[in-house]
Amino acid sequence: MKAKILHSVEKSFKWIEKEMLTFNRGAWGVYERIRIDVNERVCLSRPDTASEFLVAAARYKEVTGFGGYDDVFENVFKWLDFVQNENEGISGSFCFAFVDGNKRYSCDQSLYQNDNGKILINLLSLYEKNNDKRFYDMAKKLADFWVSVQREDGCFHNDDIKILQIFPKAPCFVLWMMAGMFHAYKVFGDEIYLNAGKKAFNYIKKCIVGGRLLTSYEIEKTENWRPVSSENVIAIYAFAHCYKFCKDDDFLVYANILKKYVGKLIDAETGAVKNCDKESVSASENNNENDCDLVYTENFALNAFVEAYEVFGDAEYLEWAKRLALWLTDIQCNGESPLWDGGWRGSYNLVKKSWCGRCNQNNANDEGGMYSVYTGWTALPIVMGMLKLLKYI
């Protein structure tokens, strides 16, 4: 099992190195994805993808001792530092994406709370691993910005900052930042972050209804193509991550509630997490019960299961993680094209046993589905989860 998972990780790294790094081995970040049907490597470099690469590369070196990506790590870090905003009233935050990594050509100035929350967690984790103060300084500026725009209801949004994401009540936009705030409290020691995390948790608890977390689509009519499975596995990850730093038993209580629901979505044959069940088909427009989404769910589920096992000690999570990781190795792109072999497409159908589906979100961006092969959001989070899992098998 270990050898199979590690081979999958190495194949993914080789694909990213060959096809998805910007000029000069990542000096302008990591390209977002390939769109197969239009023969396009999307020219966007995203800060969240860059932070995922840094964590994945650091874990890979820790597991194998291989230092062949050290230069890429440093290049990608310098780019991430370059694009952290220091003006325009959003100091310390990260915008969505940049064309070919160039700060002058931001394609979207929106500040997505989920992206920034993941970046915060990744920076803090990197600082804890290597004690490099550069990560500490970047994370501190990022955390301070988002604390400054938190609302009393626990969500993160400031109406005076016009470019801020406009759907603050969407659970996925609160969960990642909540987890980041509890992590920031552990690293920085200031209760301002602890209080921010607690306020966010109080909001999220209200979103758990009928044994599962309500979706962004149900609450805000946004994230149409994020399946109901996605935010529920993200919540398990976030609850486990927060519990590490505050030992509030409420996180375990609510994680157990969601575990029962997520358990119903796990396919008995493969270990894959289905998009939804019959009772939750209306919670999202991505509502095929036989589809498994690799942009929004499988990637986060793998990390959630490993994190929950590590924190809560529940052996069932470890079994879920192992089965899911092995299934992901089985469906990894292989022999399809040298342009994306080593990656994973965005959606897989368990009945047809093939890639399937599209996620146009009514905006022609094609956010996922069978024709999208993501670097961040799919390949890198999967690699991160696999490498962490290797410690326990």
pLDDT, tens digit (0-9, with 9 covering 90-100), for 83-123: 998 766 678 999 999 999 998 776 667 889 999 999 999 99
- Cα angle, residue 306 at apex, residues 301 and 311 outer, rounded to 5°: 120
pLDDT digits (tens, 9 = 90+) for 299-350: 999 999 999 999 999 999 999 999 999 999 999 999 999 999 999 999 999 9
- Cα angle, residue 297 at apex, residues 43 and 277 outer, rounded to 5°: 140
- Cα angle, residue 86 at apex, residues 85 and 89 outer, rounded to 5°: 90
Q: How far apart are CA 382 and CA 15, in angstroms?
A: 14
Q: Collapsing DSSP states into helix, strand and coil, what is residue 248? A: coil
In degrees and rounded to multiples of 5, residue 273 shows phi and psi of -100, 120
C-alpha 191: how far from its chain's center?
Answer: 26
The separation between the first and the last C-alpha atoms of the chain, rounded to the nearest angstrom, is 8
- β-pairing, 347-349 vs 106-108, is unpaired
- Tell me the DSSP string of 294-338: TTTTHHHHHHHHHHHHHHH--HHHHHHHHHHHHHHHHHS--SS-T
Q: How many CB atoms lie within 10 A of CB 58?
A: 19
Q: Which residue has the tokens 């972050």?
A: 193
What is the average pLDDT across 123-141? 97
Residues in the chain: 393
pLDDT digits (tens, 9 = 90+) for 59-90: 999 999 999 999 999 999 999 999 998 766 67
Q: Collapsing DSSP states into helix, strand and coil, what is residue 108? A: strand
pLDDT digits (tens, 9 = 90+) for 29-62: 999 999 999 999 999 999 999 999 999 999 999 9
Q: How far apart are CA 295 and CA 377, in angstroms?
A: 6
Q: State the pLDDT at residue 318.
A: 98
Q: Tell me the CA distances in angstroms from 83 to 45, 46, 109, 141, one per residue in order.
A: 10, 10, 12, 13
pTM of the model: 0.97
Q: Reply yes or no on whether the pLDDT at 163 is more than 90.
A: no
Q: Tell me the CA distances in angstroms from 374 to 73, 100, 157, 175, one per residue in order.
A: 19, 16, 28, 22
Q: How far apart are CA 336 and CA 339, in angstroms?
A: 8
Per-domain residue ranges of the chain: 2-392
CATH T-level fold of 2-392? Glycosyltransferase (1.50.10)
